[in-house]
Structure 1
Amino acid sequence: MTQTLVGVFDSFQQAQNAKIRLEAEGIAPADITVHARDAASGTLGTTETGVGTTAVGGTPGTVPAHEQEGVVGRIEHFFKRLFGDDDQPEEAGHYREAVRRGGALLSVDVDDESSVEKVRETLYAAGAVDINSRVAAWRTAGYTGYDRNAPAYTDEQIAAERKAFPVVEESLEVGKREVNTGGVRVYSRVTATPVSETVDLREEHATIERRAADRPATAADLKEGSVEIRETSEQAVVGKTARVVEEVVVGKESSHRTETVNDTVRGTEVQVERVEGTPTDTRIDEAGKKPV
């Protein structure tokens, strides 16, 4: 079943750009139609690729006077094809009103159900507006419904209505960066420390003792002989042995902490205030109807 998706754009050029994006997505040009108002004459028109319809909405004066009735008929035919001849929903008038106020419509005929979402995303990405939000804004200015006898907006009226008040909102972005907070440097050097130890040393010495005697000598006493006695002494012997008694391990460890960042973000708010008109502001057209 063929579905028709309609996107509302603020200008003919935006609708044309959306058409180019849809064609790049694989949508056939014959399935895409742009509806816009001619800037010079104030009439409604249609651009269709490959159908031979006169293009309007771009360069002023592209629609000759003898073709104006046919141009209006083509866009009315589009809405009849979309919604039927009778009892068209109120939304149909909103779409017409968008074109009357200088906007443009882009319709896409989609046969493949899987392509519907892709087309919808492409339309929004190209700048399609939310028609419900737009109508709500119109109502605050007195809009009650589409009036086909109401004159098309002039360039001045379009510019005044499209005047934008930006709504700005700051966001707080908190990141992280690594900073050098110091460190530890470890040195290893040789030191000399005086020490003292006590040791007992033994010495052996020869002793000579003479003692008086008075006895008869014997043959043994008359023999020659000698005795040698060695004297010894101990001396301190110094030796050193190195032993590892402690190790200093150098490394680093990480820890985490949570920090709350407090700051102030700025933003703007746009308030819409209804301003009542005065009797001198009211204009009556030839048909006796009050234009929107």
Structure 2
Amino acid sequence: MSQIVTRLFDNFSDAEHAVIELERVGVPHGDISLVSNRRGTSHPVADVREPRDSTAGDAAARDAGVGAALGGVIGAGGGVLAGLGLLAIPGLGPVIAAGWLASAAVGAAVGGAVVAGAGGIVGALTHAGVSRAEADVYAESVRRGGTLVSAKVDDELVLTAQAALDNTPYVDIAERRALYQGQGWSRFDDTLDPYTDAEIEAERARWR
């Protein structure tokens, strides 16, 4: 059996470190996913350092299924971070992403172009076992400029994976939900326009 271990980060470099830590403690590349808002930032896509625990060849073999599922939008090779690609998820706008969550959050990929979403990021998270309340906050936070890391972790590795993630600063979901609700927010709405560059920069500035 496996469990979902998920963390939200305001800083992309913290999320990057979290992915590397998950891989370091033995969570397979194919079981880790990262989704980060692309707008208003210079997040790396092709030039991301390779995780320490494998060669590019090893990672390519393990990530091949994910790359194929997204029709080449998310490429394989060099671990999760080196497989980051650009795509669109309903309600979020352009994101950089890799892994199972990204694959589940988008629909079919035809000729390298992502078409209609299949439940979006909230649907993908809840289908994996994340509560709807938490999934809404995760999705809204990515919409506002955050980065989400989620892993499917075997039961015997859960505590190790959580300890590895706890070494990296992450967002307290309950506190972030309360803050959003204090602004009149109730749930993630994928029919709203994605945040603009200026709005995302203002949101990120609050957490620096």
TM-score between the two structures when normalised by the length of structure 1: 0.44
If asked which structure has higher relative contact order (CA below 8 Å, sep 6+), I would say 2
Kept after mapping to 1: 8 A contact 2:12/2:146:
yes
1:2 & 1:109 partners in 2: Cα distance? Answer: 6
Residue number in structure 2 paired with 1:15: 15
Q: Following TM superposition, by how much is the alpha carbon of 1:145 offset from its aligned partner in structure 2, in angstroms?
A: 1.8
Q: Which residues of 2 match residues 25-174 of structure 1 at below 5 A?
A: 25-39=25-39, 50=63, 51-52=66-67, 53=70, 54=74, 55-56=85-86, 57-58=95-96, 67-69=113-115, 72-73=117-118, 75=121, 78-83=124-129, 89-113=132-156, 115-164=157-206
Q: Deviations over 1:203-254 (max 9, x none)?
A: xxxxxxxxxxxxxxxxxxxxxxxxxxxxxxxxxxxxxxxxxxxxxxxxxxxx
- Tell me which amino acid in the other structure corresponds to 2:28: A
- Tell me which amino acid in the other structure corresponds to 1:122: A
159 and 64 in structure 1: CA distance in 2 versus 1, 3 angstrom threshold: farther
- Tell me which amino acid in the other structure corresponds to 2:159: E
- Tell me which amino acid in the other structure corresponds to 1:125: N
2:132 & 2:185 partners in 1: Cα distance? Answer: 17
* Aligned-residue RMSD, C-alpha: 3.3
2:33 & 2:123 partners in 1: Cα distance? Answer: 13
Kept after mapping to 2: 8 A contact 1:39/1:58:
no
- Tell me which amino acid in the other structure corresponds to 1:156: A
Residue number in structure 2 paired with 1:276: none
Kept after mapping to 1: 8 A contact 2:4/2:129:
no
Kept after mapping to 2: 8 A contact 1:11/1:102:
no
TM-score between the two structures when normalised by the length of structure 2: 0.60
1:75 & 1:141 partners in 2: Cα distance? Answer: 22
Which secondary structure state, in structure 2, belongs to the residue aligned with residue 135 of structure 1? helix
Query: Which structure 2 segments of 5+ residues have no match?
Result: 41-58, 75-84, 87-94, 98-108
> What is the aligned length?
151
Q: Following TM superposition, by how much is the alpha carbon of 1:12 offset from its aligned partner in structure 2, in angstroms?
A: 4.0
| Bigger proportion of residues as helix | 2
Q: Following TM superposition, by how much is the alpha carbon of 1:21 offset from its aligned partner in structure 2, in angstroms?
A: 1.7
Aligned-residue sequence identity (percent) comes to 31
1:26 & 1:142 partners in 2: Cα distance? Answer: 41
Q: Based on CA coordinates, which of the two structures has the bigger radius of gyration? A: 1
19 and 150 in structure 1: CA distance in 2 versus 1, 3 angstrom threshold: same
Query: Which structure 1 segments of 5+ residues have no match?
Result: 41-47, 167-292
Q: Deviations over 1:252-281 (max 9, x none)?
A: xxxxxxxxxxxxxxxxxxxxxxxxxxxxxx
Which secondary structure state, in structure 2, belongs to the residue aligned with residue 163 of structure 1? helix
